[in-house]
Structure 1
Amino acid sequence: MHLYPLSLKALSAGLLAASFMATASANDLPSQEFLAQQGLTVVGPLPAVGGLKAWAAYRDQQPVPIYLMPDGKHWVLGTVIDAQGRDVNGQALQSAVQKPMGEQLWADVQRSQYVPDGKPNAPRTVYVFTDPNCPYCNQLWLEARPWVESGQVQLRHILVGILRPSSEGKAAAILSARSPEQALASHARAHAAAGRGPAAENAGIAAQTKISAAMRQTLANHAAMMSHWGLRATPAMIWKDDKGLVQIRTGMPPGVLEEVMGKK
């Protein structure tokens, strides 16, 4: 999902909708237990038409509106439309959740046990969920060299072991190496050189056969973070754009590196 910057049009729509807002109190929300079961994070009151009380929330990168019915006992999670079928609160909802959702994701990836690649004072930092057996992850490592070696970007690889049986052992071997950065570099080069056939799984670093409980927990935390944020594929890149807004891209479509890292 692309988190779109707030436009003047969206801001105007939000201010207009605010004139119709009924006061929404946190005491009117469903129980914390219900919200937790639904995986919902509430941001705050949402301007809403129709006299309903509303809140902006998000789940798995998706904005979710919560509406309190007039009886004060029932809630609806869904979209309010007008007679023309238009989502009347969509822009206000996106505007409300974009920044807090992005900042929470940024705080989460900063707490990971990442492998740095590049200068720590680079003007742009890009977090990358990386599986050692992912050919596109290793392709990204190679193709990012111009940005990394010029000092423009520091990559921070958050290793996961989800694609193949050997992925967890390889990720553990990289993180346990004396120099994880060098271990990842050697692995990425060897894996990429082997191509994308059956031989690729045997290329690069050897998988650890005895993984400590602490390391398994670290890799499990990384995988859980991916799942929590709805990131379904590797590589998954997270960075802040020139406006300071958190952005997300998955995979390696043409032109994605210039979008993420800027011009070479």
Structure 2
Amino acid sequence: MITMQCILRDTFYLYPKAKDEYEVSLYDKCLVYEPCDHSRARNRTEVRLDDVIGCHVMKVAEHVTSLKSTSSFFCVYAYHLTEKRKGTSQFREKKTYVFEVDKEGTYEDNLVISRKWQSALLWLLRGFRLQKTPDCPIVIPKELPAQRHYLVIVNPKSGPGKSLEIFLNRVRPILAEADISHLLLVTERQNHARDFIRHLNLTQWSGVLVISGDGLLFEVYNGLMERPDWKQAVKIPIGIIPGGSGNGLARSISHACG
């Protein structure tokens, strides 16, 4: 049996259940919380880090008087794999977990705690191992991981013509939750993306996201293969979100990734 390593443990309120305090534990593979009140049913909730995409720290708006202005909050965004009925196709369902930090007398001191949890969680999501030894406790970096930058390429005329709408309404909010900045390229002609990729400085980008049919993805790879540094260029992560009339490749990738 594999023993999970506890990175952080503390007690917080689970927003909006402001009266209920929870013990929250961050492990290297999951986030776990359960009520501190042992007289209540021990409803233990486990959030797999494989389902988590980001974590933000926030403060209550000044006009909200029902919450303490000294509290800080950290919000965890997860997309859990689920199914409407047993045996039906699976899909990702968004779930947001908001923890209220009210341990200290000032917002600034509570913010320090929130940022510590945010930093630990984000470093774990990036694959960084937070480990301790008998002689050295776990050290959580004060600095957050460097922000990722995506090039998003959209063909607005592909298939039913909803690629741009898909990006604005569904993809862009997810990028914001994951704290990923982006540059949007809306193609205007055939081979627009191919020419753009061929001359792009790839060192500025963490990945390329294509929202269209399979054709635009092939165009991107053709542009990469035509570069003098193509052996290195083809290593850049590329994702595709179906938005065209031919989405077989996108569907196959999605199925393989679960």
Indicate whether the TM-score tops 0.5.
Answer: no
Structure with larger RCO (C-alpha < 8 A, sep 6+): 1
Name the one with the larger strand percent: 2
Q: TM-score if structure 2 supplies the norm length?
A: 0.29
Q: TM-score if structure 1 supplies the norm length?
A: 0.29
Name the one with the larger helix percent: 1
